[in-house]
Structure 1
Amino acid sequence: MTLVQLQYVLAVAEYKNFTIAADKSFVTQPTLSMQIQKLEKELNIEIFDRTSHPIKITQIGAKIVAQAKTILMEANRMKHLVNEEKGLLEGDFIIGVIPTILPSLVPLFYKTFQKNNPKSNLIIKELQTDKIIKGIKDGSLDFGLVVSPLYEDQIIERPLYYEPLVAYIPPVHRLGQNKTITQEDLDTADLLILQEGHCFRNNVLALCDTSNLKQRPIKLESGSFDVLIKLANDGFGMTLLPSLVADDLPEELRNNIKNFKSPVPSREVSLIFHQSQLRDSFEKELVNTIQSILRGKIFLEKDEKLDANIISLTKK
């Protein structure tokens, strides 16, 4: 039994296809199949039911897959322990990032971090919060960038910054001539929000009076801020954005941004990791890199100008 064989097993378990698993593992399909067959012969079991499409994991195979994850996670921990002892910041660091954070934050720190740490390799995966939590707990992710707090067992949260929310309101909208807005101005009848599954949707709904949501339902939902902005420009309403997303808009669109009166609704963004992780040097380096880039642009600590009720939003 080898670690490579276990890696191949996990690849097939994930993709339910030998060809795709081989491609993702950067080996030929015959090589991957042969190694898995050797393992099955050694254990005298079948891990996969090859007669089904897509391939299914057998009952005993499911237990093998779970154990393989544990073995590989512990093997990686041994490498991390050695690197940490030597003070080395090298190897792969797999980070799950939620969709409403990735496009505005990752481009800010990615190149700087890689330049300062050339032996490290950041692998960024766009995932929903629940998938990031699962990945950290099963070892497939090293870290996550999410909106917190999460209140999850085994998960450590390191707050990075507090991001104000702003409103995107075209001039033709009923609030288009306002210089600022309040939470009381929000109406679900003309509010465009992200689809189910995005934690930012919950942030926005937490600001609204949803007691009459059935009488005045939300008309349009989308999976991206770009679409919400386009819909607002087309006269379908208004939307809310994280401030870093608003900062990236072209100048002509930034003119439609309205700030909230104090206290400003905001969201807490944190770096999360498993309580048993051994990569303290990476954690500190990433936190320092992100905060140094954002310093002066955004709140790095809680502030009286921010709405603590929104900062303390519970798990999505």
Structure 2
Amino acid sequence: MDTRQLKTLLAIETHRTFAQAADVVGLTPSAVSQQIQSLEQELNTAIFDRSSRPPKLTPQGLQVIEMAKDILQREDDVKAALRGDQMAGTLMVGSVRTSALNLLPRVIVQMRRQFPALKTNLRVSLSSPLIADVASGRLDAAVVAEHLGIPNALRWSPFLREPLWIIAPKGTESTDPIRLLNTRPYVRFRSPVPLANLIDTELSRLGVVTQDVAEIDTIGSIVTCVRQGLGISVVPHVALDEDGADIVRLPFGSPQVTRQIGLVERTVSPRGEVIARMHEALADQCGEHGVRR
């Protein structure tokens, strides 16, 4: 299998037509077609359905696309390793849909400036598939909250340990957290993630019966609703602006509840050095709540 064929295949996926891909890879359209036909013969499968115009990827073709991305990434990594350059190649990173996702793009941009030869590819998903992809090697690392289902072959290293806050609209006068939670309209975080379970468990432990007015699955939207006066809620520290002038905040839980977010990676990883640099940069972005290795 020729990696030039795989690069051509990815160019077709990106640019949608053989003709546009030909311009990108510097070949004629007929040469592109010959490369794909040769690849199909080698794999004994149809990658494209040519009955439509432009040709569309078949289900088998989608699998070949994933294989091509994996092979080309590994090629980049091996070349970087042979050069002795640990800060080159492509770093495949995943992240859960968390308010801490705000930190990751900043760190990726920072590392891109520091290490121009390093490429990054970010995938956003849920914790379980991300952890499975790290274990299988499809991802080098992933940002996930503290999780019980970490296999022994993986290592989870927290970079953020942050408090949770009860937040209320500006002008709220009550300083009694329990009374506030029992009496004010409550915007509930409803999502299949550890944070939602952590909040609900502490509410139950405190004996609180909330007056729910909304169920929302993103923390950013919850903060917006509270700012607009819809009700009160509970959110992690990283979701709040630095000044917080337009929101009243009170500690949530007794003692105040915290949650952790970290990087999961394979215990033996060829990208260990670059992942360590990313962990350090993420911890720096978290300020006083950052956790160093």
Q: Shorter-normalised TM-score: what interval?
A: 0.7 to 0.9
Deviation of the 1:160 alpha carbon: 1.6
- SS of the residue corresponding to residue 149 of structure 1 reads coil
TM-score if structure 1 supplies the norm length?
0.68
Report the equivalent of 1:252: 245
Whole-Å Cα distance in 2 between the matches of residues 178 and 238 of structure 1?
Answer: 12
1:111-260 superposed matches below 5 A? 111-153=109-151, 154-171=153-170, 176-179=172-175, 181=177, 186=181, 190-209=185-204, 218-246=212-240, 248=241, 251-253=244-246, 255-260=247-252
Whole-Å Cα distance in 2 between the matches of residues 96 and 256 of structure 1?
Answer: 33
- Alpha carbons of 1:192 and 1:87: their partners in 2 closer, same or farther (altered >3 Å)? same
Whole-Å Cα distance in 2 between the matches of residues 48 and 98 of structure 1?
Answer: 33
Paired AA for residue 222 in structure 1: I
Whole-Å Cα distance in 1 between the matches of residues 225 and 132 of structure 2?
Answer: 34
Whole-Å Cα distance in 2 between the matches of residues 151 and 124 of structure 1?
Answer: 22
- Alpha carbons of 1:9 and 1:185: their partners in 2 closer, same or farther (altered >3 Å)? farther
1:57 pairs with 2:59: yes
Whole-Å Cα distance in 2 between the matches of residues 48 and 188 of structure 1?
Answer: 60
- SS of the residue corresponding to residue 264 of structure 1 reads coil
Deviation of the 1:256 alpha carbon: 1.5
Report the equivalent of 2:96: 98
More off after superposition, 187-196 vs 256-265: 187-196
- SS of the residue corresponding to residue 252 of structure 1 reads coil
Whole-Å Cα distance in 2 between the matches of residues 204 and 262 of structure 1?
Answer: 12
Contact 2:163/2:257 (8 A) holds in 1: yes
Whole-Å Cα distance in 1 between the matches of residues 72 and 226 of structure 2?
Answer: 48
Contact 2:186/2:210 (8 A) holds in 1: no
Whole-Å Cα distance in 1 between the matches of residues 130 and 144 of structure 2?
Answer: 8
Report the equivalent of 2:291: 300
Report the equivalent of 2:3: 3
Within the candidate set 276, 283, 290, 1:291 is matched to 283
Unaligned runs of 5+ in 2: none
- Alpha carbons of 1:225 and 1:294: their partners in 2 closer, same or farther (altered >3 Å)? closer
- Alpha carbons of 1:54 and 1:121: their partners in 2 closer, same or farther (altered >3 Å)? closer
> CA RMSD of the aligned region, Å?
4.2
- Alpha carbons of 1:56 and 1:134: their partners in 2 closer, same or farther (altered >3 Å)? farther
Paired AA for residue 186 in structure 2: L
Give identity over the alignment, percent: 21
Whole-Å Cα distance in 1 between the matches of residues 181 and 17 of structure 2?
Answer: 51
Paired AA for residue 159 in structure 1: P
Report the equivalent of 1:313: none
- Alpha carbons of 1:189 and 1:261: their partners in 2 closer, same or farther (altered >3 Å)? closer
Contact 1:160/1:271 (8 A) holds in 2: yes
Deviation of the 1:128 alpha carbon: 3.0
- Alpha carbons of 1:81 and 1:180: their partners in 2 closer, same or farther (altered >3 Å)? farther
Contact 1:87/1:281 (8 A) holds in 2: no
Deviation of the 1:282 alpha carbon: 0.7
Contact 2:100/2:239 (8 A) holds in 1: no
Give the number of aligned pairs.
284
- SS of the residue corresponding to residue 236 of structure 1 reads coil
Whole-Å Cα distance in 1 between the matches of residues 79 and 245 of structure 2?
Answer: 50
- SS of the residue corresponding to residue 289 of structure 2 reads coil
- Deviation per CA, 1:75-97, whole angstroms, max 9, x where unpaired? 455335435xx253123323222
- Alpha carbons of 1:65 and 1:150: their partners in 2 closer, same or farther (altered >3 Å)? farther
Contact 1:101/1:146 (8 A) holds in 2: no
- Alpha carbons of 1:108 and 1:69: their partners in 2 closer, same or farther (altered >3 Å)? closer
More off after superposition, 74-83 vs 142-151: 74-83
- SS of the residue corresponding to residue 177 of structure 1 reads coil
